[in-house]
Amino acid sequence: QAAADPMSSSDAPEDGPKETSSVSQNISDADAFKILLEMKMKKRQKKPALPSTVTELDTEDGSKVYVVGTAHFSDSSKKDVVKTIQEVQPDVVVVELCQYRVSMLKMDEKTLLKEAKEINLEKLQQAIKQNGVMSGLMQMLLLKVSAHITEQLGMAPGGEFREAFKEASKVPFCKFHLGDRPIPVTFKRAIAALSFWQKVKLAWGLCFLSDPISKDDVEKCKQKDLLEQMMAEMIGEFPDLHRTIVSERDIYLTYMLKQAAKQIELPRASETEPRKYIPAVVVGVVGMGHVPGIEKNWNSDLNIQEIMSVPPPSASSKIFKFVIKATVFGLMGYGCYRIGQRTVQFILSMPAAQNYLQKLTEIRSQH
């Protein structure tokens, strides 16, 4: 859009405004599109110098997809994303985000650091309201993992996605797509895959996460996304959970990248002009842990309907939900009891109350 905007009146030369206006009126939308497209093609490198973290994939109709594998807490990943977009001048940029996490694109680093560290009751209630009790608790536990890394490194997650968003806005006719499966679906499917005791064990492991992490550790994890590597270590004994959190999302991301890589239709000067298509160039920005799965699924016929369905809650889920609710209400009831008990003791200790009780005792003894 920035490239397509006409020059503002304040920047235009004072002499010859009529000439500029007449030239603008004589250019049709199709011609303007072609001019800007030619400029974009000239800037697009035929043999781009790409970072080692980029995997190149092709479609049957000649479109190209450049998948940038990133570590979600890495400055070098941000640079890799910027360089790739500048080199290939894509038609579409796809990021590993869904609509429930899109807010991080417009937040600054300082705000995100503050948000990540403040996991409070209000956020828990919002997560439960949005995703249900079990999925909401799982979301908050995963946020705790992310907040732990954020606190250790002093770096907010998703920097590479924000850089992708900024760079995409600088490329003419570049669309920006959200490529990840909605997070409530992922959490609900993950919860459904666990038994009652597996849920308890996983929650326990996430609650007591406190291992220190250094920036060197992050860069060593460039071959596997840090957050998902930590999760993989904790859920290694739960293959079904790994399938829902990682493998199924590999399939979904692959499907979205292939959808984005469909050929682009060029504008026509008239309805009688035949339709013309050109191959698309796509940049995908995903965690490094998803790249092998995307490569594996690239040439497969994908159907995402199955991995988008949410199975009904199992008996263990109902039991766990009941235990959580009973625990919460029990703690609330006990708290009210303790507060009430202390309040009664405080009132009875007051001199006025003691005098009143003494009078009642004397009246009862007289009768």
Q: Write out the chain's pLDDT in tens, 367 residues.
A: 333 333 333 344 444 444 444 444 567 777 787 788 888 888 887 888 999 999 999 999 999 999 999 987 788 999 999 999 999 999 999 999 999 888 888 777 677 666 666 666 666 666 666 666 656 666 666 666 666 666 666 677 788 999 999 999 999 889 999 999 998 888 888 878 877 777 777 666 656 555 666 666 655 554 455 555 555 555 556 777 778 888 999 999 999 999 999 999 887 777 888 998 999 999 999 998 899 999 999 999 998 999 999 877 655 555 655 665 566 556 556 555 556 555 556 555 666 666 666 766 666 666 6
Q: Report the predicted TM-score, pTM, of the whole model to 2 decimal places.
A: 0.71
Residue 17: per-residue pLDDT: 45
113 in Cβ contact with 196 (< 8 Å): no
Residue 299: count other Cβ atoms within 10 Å of its Cβ.
Answer: 11
In the structure encoding, which two tokens stand for residue 176, read together?
Answer: 């920006």
pLDDT at 73: 76
Closest to 121 (Cα-Cα) out of 104, 107, 136: 136
Tell me the C-alpha distance between 76 and 78, whole Å. Answer: 5
- What is the SS3 assignment for 283? strand
Report how far residue 72's alpha carbon sits from residue 102's, in angstroms, rounded to the nearest whole number: 15
pLDDT at 12: 42
With a CB cutoff of 8 Å and minimum separation 6, the contacts of 150 are 73, 113, 116, 117, 156, 157
- Tell me how far apart the alpha carbons of residues 286 and 294 are, in angstroms, rounded to a whole number: 10
267 DSSP assignment? P
d(CA 166, CA 115): 21
Strands 281-287 and 277-278: unpaired
Buried b (16+ CB within 10 A) or exposed e, 145-162: bbbbbbebbebbbbbbbb
For the stretch 31-39, contacts whose Cβ atoms lie closer than 8 Å and that sit 24 or more positions apart, written own/partner, are: 32/4, 33/173, 33/266, 33/267, 34/266, 34/267, 36/3, 36/4, 36/172, 36/173, 37/172, 37/173, 37/266, 39/3, 39/172
- Give the span between the Cα atoms of 34 and 311, in whole angstroms: 49
Q: Which two tokens stand for residue 200?
A: 């308890």
Neighbours of 177 (CB within 10 A): 16
Using DSSP's 3-state secondary structure scheme, residue 246 falls into: helix
| pLDDT score recorded for residue 210 | 55
Query: What is the DSSP-derived secondary structure letter of residue 193?
Result: T
The residue ranges of every structural domain in the chain are 45-311, 319-360
Structure tokens at 27: 């250019």
* Separation of alpha carbons 359 and 361, rounded Å: 5
Res 16: pLDDT = 44
Can you list the alpha helix ranges (DSSP code H) found in 208-290?
Answer: 215-220, 226-234, 239-242, 248-260
Distance CA 123, CA 147 (A): 13
Helix (H, G, I), strand (E, B) or coil at 265: strand
Q: What are phi and psi of 39, to 5 degrees?
A: -60, -40
